[in-house]
């Protein structure tokens, strides 16, 4: 089907449904693709796109950044670049580095471990969802194999199922969910079966504009036929059972724990921590999640669909990708950042 035909078909289905739809995309890469392709404008009056809690940088509490900043005077912190500019309560990792903090950007924790020496005191800032967790599990395995004794993991890894359940139970009612294709490569279609009990149309989607359109078509068809089984429009990559090897690595080294999500709060089972038998490789990064910096940033409301980025009083005026005031503007996959770059139709 041609793109224009697909768009026509989706709109036609929505007209048959008889009301505009609220559709949440969980993954930040989908957020970017939706804005980049101008879909909020294409479907204005038909679909209200809401960004969910699937960007790991956006949901990270500033207390975690504060702990890394503190530790960077004694340990070398290895982090993904996205985390560098996330504001802590007093400074970001980037500012801490400018003040002498030992902070290095890594592209892959597995590669980083290859180059470590035995006496280096290193902390890996382990942030991400099930997509990233296997890489940290493999890094931990390599640390053990190399006999490195001064390497720790500051685990802030998240799972996707519990925050999504929390969103569907406690926040705005949505008509459809575009499920994250990357996480689905690991946990499979089976890993999202829990969504079916919420009676919401859902589909695992690829990331190109055409993939998103196919997913929107699937959602509208499912609403019309009241079919709430999880669909897979990313079959070229996602299998029913997911990636068994990657899941095996997660299970070998991590177990579920509570985790804080900006906008959703503390979610039991929403995170991963290193299993007790490997605890010598874990460093305590606990922080008081109830303490939040007094700020006008409204990331929490953006992440739960209460407001659009342009409704935040700081958006574009003082908060930009160059001078971000909140995590949703820092991350390339954050909705404020995507809106700033591509959402100029408003
Ligand atoms: Fe926070 Fe900036 Fe987004 Fe406002 S525009 S919610 S300050 S990140």
The Å distance, Cα 172 to ligand 1 centre, comes to: 20
CATH architecture of the domain formed by 57-159+244-281:
3-Layer(aba) Sandwich (3.40)
- The residue whose CA has the least distance to atom 8 of ligand 1 is 326
Q: Is 203 in the pocket of ligand 1 (CB under 6 A)?
A: no
Q: What angle do CA 45, 10, 32 make, to 5 degrees?
A: 70
Q: How far is the CA of 143 from the centre of ligand 1 (A)?
A: 38
> Does residue 171 have a pLDDT over 80?
no
312 lines ligand 1 (CB under 6 A): yes
Q: Please give the structure tokens belonging to residue 244.
A: 């068994």
Task: Give the residue with greater pLDDT, 254 vs 328.
Answer: 254
More confident site: 187 or 28: 187
Give residue 305's pLDDT.
Answer: 83
pLDDT at residue 30, rounded to an integer: 92
Angle between helices 209-225 and 28-36 (to 10 degrees): 100
pLDDT for the residue 182: 93
Please choose from 35, 59, 298 the residue to mutate so as to test ligand 1's pocket, defined by most ligand atoms within 8 A of CB: 298
In which band, very low, low, confident or very high, does the pLDDT at 345 lie, cut at 50, 70 and 90? low
Rounded distance from Cα 328 to ligand 1 centre (Å): 6
CB–CB of 5/29 below 8 Å?
Answer: no
Burial annotation 226-248 (CB, 10 A radius, 16+ → b, else e): eebebbbbbeeebeeebbeebbe
Instruction: Tell whether ligand 1 has an atom less than 6 A from the beta carbon of residue 319.
Output: yes
Please state the atom number of ligand 1 nearest to the C-alpha of residue 312.
4
CA–centroid distance, 3 to ligand 1, in Å, is: 33
For the Cβ of 315 lying below 6 angstroms from any atom of ligand 1, the answer is: yes
Candidate of 62, 86, 294, 336 to mutate for ligand 1, largest count of ligand atoms within 8 Å of Cβ: 336
Provide the percentage of residues in the chain whose pLDDT is more than 90. Answer: 68
- Ligand 1 atom closest to the Cα of residue 307 is 6
Residue-level pLDDT at 294: 64
Position 73 confidence tier, pLDDT thresholds 50, 70, 90: very high
Q: How far is CA 202 from the centre of its chain?
A: 18
ipTM (interface predicted TM): 0.98
pLDDT digits (tens, 9 = 90+) for 135-168: 999 999 999 999 998 999 999 999 999 999 998 9
- CA 38 to centroid of ligand 1, rounded, Å: 21
Q: What average pLDDT does range 53-59 have in this prediction?
A: 80
Residue 170's pLDDT band (boundaries 50, 70, 90)? confident
- The predicted model gives 203-227 an average pLDDT of 97
339 alpha carbon – ligand 1 mean position (Å): 11
Give the model's pLDDT for residue 344. Answer: 60
Whole-number Cα distances in Å, 267 to 63, 127, 163, 170: 16, 16, 7, 12
Choose among 259, 252, 249: nearest CA to 275.
Answer: 252
Whole-number pLDDT of residue 279: 95
Whether 284 has a pLDDT exceeding 90, the answer reads no
- pLDDT given for residue 223 in this prediction: 98
pLDDT score at 331: 80
**pLDDT of 94-140, one tens digit each?**
999 999 999 999 999 999 999 888 788 999 999 999 999 999 999 99
C-beta of 309 in contact with ligand 1 (< 6 A): yes
- Residue 300's pLDDT is 83
Q: Rounded mean pLDDT of 33-38? A: 92
Classify residue 272 as left (phi > 0), alpha (psi -120 to 50) or beta. Answer: beta
Nearest CA to ligand 1 atom 5: 315
If you average pLDDT over every residue of the chain, what do you get?
Answer: 92
Q: Please determine, for residue 295, whether its predicted confidence score (pLDDT) is greater than 80.
A: no
């Amino acid at each position: 089907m041609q793109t224009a035909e697909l768009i026509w078909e989706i709109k036609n289905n929505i007209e048959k449904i008889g009301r505009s739809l609220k559709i949440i995309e969980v993954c930040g890469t989908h957020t970017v693709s939706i804005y980049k392709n101008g879909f909020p404008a294409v479907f204005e009056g038909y679909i209200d796109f809401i960004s969910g809690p699937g960007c790991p940088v956006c949901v990270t509490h500033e207390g975690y950044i504060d702990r890394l900043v503190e530790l960077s005077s004694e340990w070398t912190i290895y982090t993904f670049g996205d985390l560098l500019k996330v504001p802590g309560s007093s400074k970001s990792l980037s500012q801490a580095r400018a003040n002498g903090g030992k902070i290095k950007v890594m592209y892959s924790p597995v590669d980083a471990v290859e180059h470590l020496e035995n006496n280096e005191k290193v902390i890996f800032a382990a942030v991400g969802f099930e997509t990233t967790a296997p890489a940290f599990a493999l890094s931990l395995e390599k640390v053990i194999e190399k006999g490195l004794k001064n390497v720790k993991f500051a685990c802030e890894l998240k799972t996707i199922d519990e925050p999504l359940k929390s969103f569907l139970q406690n926040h705005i009612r949505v008509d459809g969910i575009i499920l994250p294709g990357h996480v689905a490569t690991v946990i499979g279609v089976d890993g999202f079966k829990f969504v079916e009990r919420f009676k919401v149309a859902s589909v695992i989607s690829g990331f190109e504009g055409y993939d998103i359109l196919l997913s929107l078509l699937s959602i509208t068809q499912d609403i019309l036929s009241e079919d709430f089984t999880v669909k897979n429009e990313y079959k070229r990559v996602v299998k029913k059972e997911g990636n068994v090897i990657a899941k095996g690595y997660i299970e070998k080294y991590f177990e579920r724990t509570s985790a804080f999500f900006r906008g959703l709060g503390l979610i039991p089972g929403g995170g991963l921590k290193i299993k007790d038998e490997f605890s010598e490789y874990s460093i305590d990064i606990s922080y008081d999640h109830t303490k939040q910096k007094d700020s006008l940033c409204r990331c929490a409301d953006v992440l739960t669909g209460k407001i659009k980025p342009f409704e935040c009083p700081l958006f574009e005026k003082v908060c930009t990708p160059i001078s971000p005031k909140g995590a949703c503007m820092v991350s390339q996959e954050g909705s404020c950042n995507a809106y700033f770059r591509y959402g100029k139709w408003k």
